[in-house]
């Protein structure tokens, strides 16, 4: 064995995860030097599955603190690098290969890496929508790098406190969000309880306020409370930091859900004054303008997105959001009699994104529509 080869530990915390744990460990195992699984009180076959899949199993008494459990897994790891994920996550093969490449190319262990967690959510009928959210999931093993907060636990503050840069990577983790309505409600109630405990310890912490806002956003009849917490998070965050952007995005979503269109527009415009090139904000504002019949203003937002828009993977976003924005911009052009401009824009987009099938189909339909006008049957 090459002793100079950097080693990598998978760290997981689990509880009653017999349905998904084997798939998670089998997806990550080929790229790890060890797999550490900390069980927080399972009553199903989780422990046996962890052992059978080659993980080192430890037990930890649940204490209403996700960070405490995750930090126990870090304490048990022995490799140079840490990679963490959940029991209902899987690591695609190409992303596992990317993790190995990243640790080899960072011999000084002086950086951490952001991965995109891709989650598929059911919408109407059988339709599904993918959302992405960046998480710092790969970092050096270091006694000063520990998770914070009882729920929605964060590792980035400790990494930044050590002065390490957080770099983007192309690796993704796929998260399964298939929960029954009852299980989802129980999860949100637990998150609310833990976030309220965090608020006792950190009453004015903008991240705790964001966590409370996000949780209330998912609860029935709690939109006014969600909006209040999210506004407080925006106001208490240092101006221009990533945390503030996340609070703005969730606040805009909460205002949209409550039908407060004027306040939603004001929120996105205020956010754009601080994050002028953010692609998610430009896309959200463009969508608002479309919903309120202001197509020209929507087009200006989408045009700005493609001219100077910046995608921040650490913010909640649609992985194919740029494709949907390009589709909508072209459709606005066509509705206003500018079909040639739409087709030219879509052709240019396809040269940069050749796998954008919705754009390819829209372009073909536009060609056919034009032909049906020019060649009339006798």
Q: What is the pLDDT of residues 264-279, one digit of tens each?
A: 999 999 999 999 999 9
Together in a domain, 138 and 266 = no
Residues 149 and 267 in one domain: no
**352 — pLDDT class (breaks 50, 70, 90):** very high
Is 320 found in the same domain as 244? Answer: yes
Looking at the structure, tell me whether residues 52 and 85 fall in a common domain: yes
User: Average pLDDT of 114-122?
Assistant: 84
- The enclosing domain of 122 has a CATH number of 3.90.550.10
Q: Report whether pLDDT(58) > 70.
A: yes
Is pLDDT of 47 > 50?
Answer: yes
Helix (H, G, I), strand (E, B) or coil at 239: coil
Whether residue 306 sits in one domain with residue 171: no
Could you tell me which residue, 88 or 178, shows the higher pLDDT? 88
- Identify whether 144 is part of a domain: yes
Residue 257 lies in a domain: yes
Cβ contacts of 176 within 8 Å, gap of 6 or more: 20, 88, 89, 90, 119, 120
Q: Judge whether 198 lies within some domain.
A: yes
Output the pLDDT for position 314.
66
* Mean of the per-residue pLDDT values of the chain: 93
Q: What is the pTM of this model?
A: 0.90
83 in Cβ contact with 99 (< 8 Å): yes
**Alpha-carbon torsion (42, 46, 52, 57), positive or negative:** negative
Is the same domain home to 92 and 223? no
Distance CA 146, CA 126 (A): 40
In angstroms, rounded to a whole number, what is the distance separating the alpha carbons of residues 275 and 63? 38
Task: Compute the radius of gyration of the chain from its Cα atoms.
Answer: 23
Total domains, the chain: 2
pLDDT at residue number 126: 46
What are the pLDDT digits (tens) for 142-155? 999 999 999 999 99
81: containing domain: 8-176
Which of 143, 176, 209 terminates a domain? The answer is: 176
- The enclosing domain of 314 has a CATH number of 1.25.40.10
Asked whether residue 159 falls in the same domain as residue 186, the answer is no
């Amino acid at each position: 064995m090459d002793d100079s080869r950097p080693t990598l530990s998978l760290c997981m915390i689990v509880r009653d995860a017999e349905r998904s744990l084997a798939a998670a460990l089998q997806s990550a195992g080929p790229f790890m030097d060890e797999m550490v699984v900390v069980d927080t009180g399972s009553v199903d076959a989780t422990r046996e599955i962890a052992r059978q899949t080659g993980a080192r199993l430890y037990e930890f008494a649940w204490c209403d603190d996700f960070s405490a459990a995750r930090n126990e897994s870090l304490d048990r790891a022995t490799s140079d690098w840490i990679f963490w994920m959940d029991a209902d996550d899987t690591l695609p093969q190409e992303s596992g290969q990317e993790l190995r490449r990243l640790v080899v190319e960072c011999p000084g262990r002086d950086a951490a890496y952001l991965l995109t967690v891709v989650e598929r959510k059911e919408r109407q009928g059988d339709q599904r929508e993918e959302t992405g959210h960046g998480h710092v999931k790969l970092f050096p093993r270091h006694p000063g790098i520990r998770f914070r907060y009882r729920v929605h636990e964060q590792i980035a503050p400790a990494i930044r406190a050590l002065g390490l840069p957080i770099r983007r990577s192309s690796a993704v983790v796929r998260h399964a969000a298939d929960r029954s309505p009852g299980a989802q409600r129980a999860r949100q109630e637990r998150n609310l309880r833990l976030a309220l405990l965090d608020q006792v310890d950190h009453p004015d912490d903008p991240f705790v306020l964001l966590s409370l806002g996000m949780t209330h956003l998912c609860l029935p009849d709690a939109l006014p409370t969600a909006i209040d917490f999210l506004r407080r998070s925006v106001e208490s965050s240092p101006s221009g930091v990533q945390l503030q952007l996340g609070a703005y995005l969730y606040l805009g979503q909460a205002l949209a859900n409550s039908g407060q269109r004027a306040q939603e527009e004001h929120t996105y415009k205020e956010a754009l004054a601080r994050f002028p090139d953010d692609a998610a904000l430009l896309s959200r504002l463009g969508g608002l303008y479309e919903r309120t019949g202001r197509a020209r203003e929507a087009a200006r937002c989408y045009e700005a997105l493609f001219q100077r828009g910046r995608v921040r993977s650490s913010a909640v976003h649609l992985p194919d959001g740029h494709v949907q924005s390009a589709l909508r911009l072209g459709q606005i052009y066509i509705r206003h009699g500018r079909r040639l401009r739409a087709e030219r824009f879509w052709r240019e987009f396809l040269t940069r994104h050749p796998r954008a099938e919705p754009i390819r189909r829209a372009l073909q339909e536009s060609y056919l529509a034009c032909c049906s006008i020019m060649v009339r049957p006798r």
